[in-house]
Structure 1
Amino acid sequence: MRIERILSCDAVHAAADLFDAPPISAATERFLAEPGHHLLFAYDDSGRAVGMISGIEMTHPDKGTEMFIYELGVAPAARLQGIGSRLVAELGAIARRNGCYGMWVGTEIGNDAALATYRRAGASEEAPFTLLSWDLIEGAADV
């Protein structure tokens, strides 16, 4: 298996099945154009993309820069082979090289597969938190 940073929209569209929904061309181009946005694919020995991770460097004036794991996905046929853990480790290496002081991810409490993957990759669990969100499309008039 090899892991590569993805900089091409064509590569993203060729591996569309790794994402929750079909990639949007304009959003893909915008994501890939940002230097602090990272998209990595894991390829099997046949050259097929079998896993992906995306991360975003976030900087705050009183904290510095940290890496946020935005999404991790592994093709169903390639699960339980350590691909997710390898992708997390590679993103962590990029974060360290770029001077990030830490890396974090949020996932659902009942997502046992994600929790196991992140723990295997060295994450420690912190206090639970509540996620609040705004729907800026549907509820635009409410904001």
Structure 2
Amino acid sequence: MRIERIEEAGAVHAAAGLFDAPPLPGVTERFLASPGHHLLVAYDDAGVPIGMISGVEMTHPDKGTEMFIYELGVSEGSRRHGVATRLVEELAAVARRTGCYGMWVGTEPGNDAALATYRRAGASEEAPFTLLNWDLIDGVRE
């Protein structure tokens, strides 16, 4: 397995099956062009995309910069083979290189696979929190 940082939209679209929904062209270009946005894709030995992780550096005046794991996905046939853990570890390495003081992720309490992956990759659990959401576009996507 090899992991590559993606900088071209074509590579994102070639890995479309790893995302929750098909990548949108304009949004993909915006994500890739934004400083502090990271997209890593894992490929099997045949060059087939088998996993992806996206992260966004977030900076606050009194805290510094931390990495937020935005999304993690692994193809069904590649799950439970360490792909997700390797992707999380590689994003953590990117975060260290870019000067982030930490990295964080939120997931559903019942998502046992995600919780196990993040713990295996070195995460520690903090106090639970409540996620509140605003739907600002009412289902419309670019």
Separation in 1, partners of 2:14, 2:65: 31
Give the C-alpha shift of residue 34 in structure 1. 1.0
In the superposition, the TM-score normalised over structure 2's length comes to: 0.96
Separation in 2, partners of 1:136, 1:98: 31
Give the C-alpha shift of residue 35 in structure 1. 2.0
Separation in 2, partners of 1:59, 1:79: 32
1:30 paired to 2:24 = no
Q: How does 1:1-143 map to 2 (within 5 A)?
A: 1-138=1-138
Render the CA deviation track for 1:56-112: whole Å, top value 9, x for unaligned.
Answer: 000000000000000000000000010000000000001001110000000000101
Q: Which amino acid aligns with 1:40?
A: L
Separation in 1, partners of 2:138, 2:36: 29
Query: Secondary structure in 2 aligned to 1:12?
Result: helix
5+ long unaligned stretches in structure 1: none
4+ aligned runs moved over 6 Å, structure 1 = none
Percent sequence identity is: 77
Separation in 1, partners of 2:13, 2:97: 28
Q: Which amino acid aligns with 2:68?
A: F
How many residues are paired up?
A: 139
Separation in 2, partners of 1:117, 1:5: 20
Give the C-alpha shift of residue 137 in structure 1. 1.4
Give the C-alpha shift of residue 138 in structure 1. 2.4
Separation in 1, partners of 2:26, 2:58: 22
Q: Which amino acid aligns with 1:95?
A: A
Query: Secondary structure in 2 aligned to 1:73?
Result: strand
Q: Which amino acid aligns with 2:96?
A: R
Separation in 1, partners of 2:61, 2:28: 28
